[in-house]
Amino acid sequence: MLRDITNQKVCEKWPALKKRKIQDGSAKYLSGSNQESKNSSENYIDRSTSMGSAIDLSEQLDRERKKELMEVRTEKGSAKSQLQHLQGKLWEVRENLPELQVEVDKLQKEYEILVNKCSEKEVKIQNIGKQRVKSINDLQVQFECFKKKQEESFNNQINIIADECDKKASAVVLKKQKEFYEKEQMTKRLCDKNREELKKLQALLEEQYKLKLTTKLLERERMIKDLKQSIESLGSQLKGFEFDKHKLSDSLSRQKEENQKLDNKYQNVKREAEKFRQRTDFLRVEVDKKASHLTDLKERKHTLLQKISSFREGEIELKEKYIEQHKLELELRERLQNLKGNIRVFCRVKPSNDHIAFDIKYGQASQDSDLKDHIEITKPKDSHDSIPASTVLNHLRSYSFVFDKVFDQYATNQKIFEEVGQMVQSAIDGYNVCIFAYGQTGSGKTYTMSKPGDGVIPLSIKKVFSCIKEYKELGWSFKVDGQFIEIYGDSINDLLADTYIRKLDLVLTNVSTFALKSPAEVNKLLAKADGNRKTASTRMNDRSSRSHTVFIIGIHGNNVKTGKSVNGVLNLIDLAGSERVDKSQVKGIHLHEAQAINTSLSALGDVISSINSKNSHIPYRNSKLTYLLQYSLGGNSKTLMFVNVSSSAEHFNETLNSLRFAQKVNNTHIGSAKKIAE
């Protein structure tokens, strides 16, 4: 009973389910067909622009159509199987449910309607497939036409390019053939010319030989004639004739020998002519080789010219980079000088000659004094000085000083100039630069400044001319002139004047100015000035300088490329040494010299103190030394002072005073240096 009720419910719901399933399948089929039609029309437009994408789309559409057709057929087969199953069930329940027959008939009609609709859809699908095949064929035809046109156009372009290449190659071949023909003709002309010269030479040799033979024959004829005359005149003198006959026979034998020699010479000439002919053939071969070698050389020349051109371009580029690097170097060097200060102080310690020296320590200063060096001297036990007794302790006392650079007893002049060279470079760049040495007599000032070969002055001259040579590559031309003066007592003398002693006023209007063209020329002038300088032997120094010397170098540069010009001045000053009269024991004129030196150095100390105290009045006119140095100490220049000190125990107090003065100078600020107005 339950089974019959279930079958009845299934039979009641089956027509609605079947109808819904068929409607869903039809809607899906129609939607797929419409979508396929729409995609086909859109893809048709796209295929007209791209054949490759059209083929891919057509294959995709074909796969989708086959898939949908299979789904419809599957649904159709499923519907048939379900219908058969329902027909079987229908016969089983027909007896109990006769009304189902009506519904079955109705479902049968609906099925037939659906079958007809499916047939119509299949026909439509077939028509769409035929249209797609036709569209694909049309696109293939269009693609073949387009491909054919492109191939024809490409072949035409290739033919045109090939013709042009053939023409160019033919032109090059003709040109090379013409050049080869010209060279061949030139070679032939040279060979013909050599042959003609050889023929001329052979003709000259034959003519020369004929002339020699003719001369010999004429001489023989003349001799025979003379002999006949002798025979006729001496016929009566038989003995004399026989004697003459013997003489003539000897002469004849000599003539035969000479003839034999001439024959030998002739054979030698023939052999030489044969050698010359062989040499000519060899030269002809060499000419051919040279012509071939000349061609190779021309090709190599062309290659080298190309390389030279590329090298010149690279050279121009490197010069431009060098100019930029040079500008940057000038800026960095200027910044470095400004950081180091305008007045710089270098300390140099002279070794002790008597091996009795006080203790000296060197080292790097503290972090508060960056880029500075440190020197510490210790007072010896037996030193006698003017320090008050209240300050003297039983233990040894030390004094510390800080300078821009400290050089010990073992430092060479060359090492010292490595630091000084930057100041010399500033003078070339257009600044007023002053370098002077200060210290007691015998402390090594003149050795540092004026030693031939490696003193500051000779090395500065070498650097000036070396930099001038380098700057020529950048378009600079320089003129260098020099003055060498001496401050002796209360007078200023020109050391380069022929008469030497010539008192000058402070304006220095009568100083001899010499054009400096080479380091060798400058060294001659320095030797002349050194010979004119005042020196004397004292107890403290065998050759003590009795005057201050000032070497003024003017540097005037002009750049034709940039239009810039510079005017720099380099003042190189060797100060006379301070000395204690009680130790040097000088008398007379040397005493007056020592007093004048100490007075001028004291005036220099007063000027430094006034600048350090920022006084409104600076006593430059108190001495001629300070008057000459006012432009180096007045704020617009770069100044370097060497303080030369002795390490000998007996000179400890003088060393201490010199270091104190140098520290005062090192603490003096004179402002930023400026270039000299152009």
589's tokens: 């004129």
Q: Which of 375-389, 432-446, 554-568 has the lowest mean pLDDT?
A: 375-389
How far is 538 from 468, CA to CA, in rounded Å? 42
- Cβ–Cβ < 8 Å for 643, 662: yes
Consult the annotation and say whether 440 binds a ligand: yes
Write the pLDDT tens digit of every residue in 50-83.
Answer: 556 656 777 787 788 788 888 888 887 887 787 7
Dihedral sign, Cα of residue 41, residue 46, residue 50, residue 54: negative
| Contact by Cβ (8 Å): 420, 458 | no
pLDDT at 479: 94
Q: Which helix (H) or strand (E) holds 548?
A: strand 548-559
For the chain, give the mean pLDDT.
76
CA distances from 125 to 30, 62, 64, 122, 603 (A): 10, 11, 12, 5, 123
d(CA 196, CA 608): 95
Give percent above pLDDT 70 in the chain. 75
Helical pair 652-666 and 589-612, crossing angle rounded to 10 deg: 40
pLDDT for 2 equals: 39
Give dist(CA 31, CA 668) in Å, integer. Answer: 102
The pair of structure tokens assigned to 543 is 């050759």
Question: 409: helix, coil or strand?
Answer: coil
Rounded to whole angstroms, the Cα distance separating 548 from 600 reads 10
Q: What integer is the mean pLDDT of 485-501?
A: 73
pLDDT at 93: 63
* Dist. CA 662–CA 608, nearest whole Å: 10
Mean pLDDT of 517-541: 69
| 548-559 and 476-488 strand pairing | antiparallel
Is pLDDT of 296 > 70?
Answer: yes
Averaged pLDDT, 342-362? 82
Write the pLDDT tens digit of every residue in 418-451: 888 888 988 998 888 899 899 888 888 889 998 8
HSE-CB for 628 with a 13 A CA cutoff = 28
CA nearest to 549, candidates 529, 531, 565, 564: 529
Element (H, E) at 620: none
pLDDT at 466: 92
Q: Is the pTM of this model over 0.85?
A: no
Mean pLDDT throughout 310-332? 72
Rounded to the nearest angstrom, the gap between the alpha carbon of residue 486 and the centroid of all alpha carbons in its chain is 46
**DSSP β-ladder status, 548-559 and 535-536:** unpaired
Local structure of 270: helix, strand or coil: helix
Q: What is the pLDDT of residues 38-59, one digit of tens each?
A: 454 454 445 455 556 656 777 7
- Contacts (Cβ under 8 Å, ≥6 apart) of 127: none
6 annotated as belonging to a binding site for a ligand: no
Q: For the stretch 261-273, what's the b/e string if a residue is b when 16 or more beta carbons lie within 10 angstroms of its beta carbon? A: eeeeeeeeeeeee
Cβ-Cβ contacts under 8 Å for 413 (sequence gap 6 or more): 447, 448, 451, 454, 455, 456, 459
Rounded Cα distance between 444 and 466, Å, is 27
| 446 labeled part of a ligand binding site | yes
Mean pLDDT of the region 272-277:
84
Is there a binding annotation on residue 265? no
Q: What integer pLDDT is reported at residue 536 of this predicted model?
A: 40
Q: Is 445 annotated as a binding residue?
A: yes
Establish whether 441 is an annotated binding residue. Answer: yes
Q: Is 187 annotated as a binding residue?
A: no
Is 444 part of any known ligand binding site?
yes
What does the pLDDT look like over 99-124, one tens digit per residue?
Answer: 666 776 777 787 788 888 878 877 88
Nearest Cα to Cα of residue 397 among 388, 406, 409, 407 = 388
Q: 584 falls in which pLDDT band (50, 70, 90)?
A: low
The one-letter code for the residue type at 515 is A
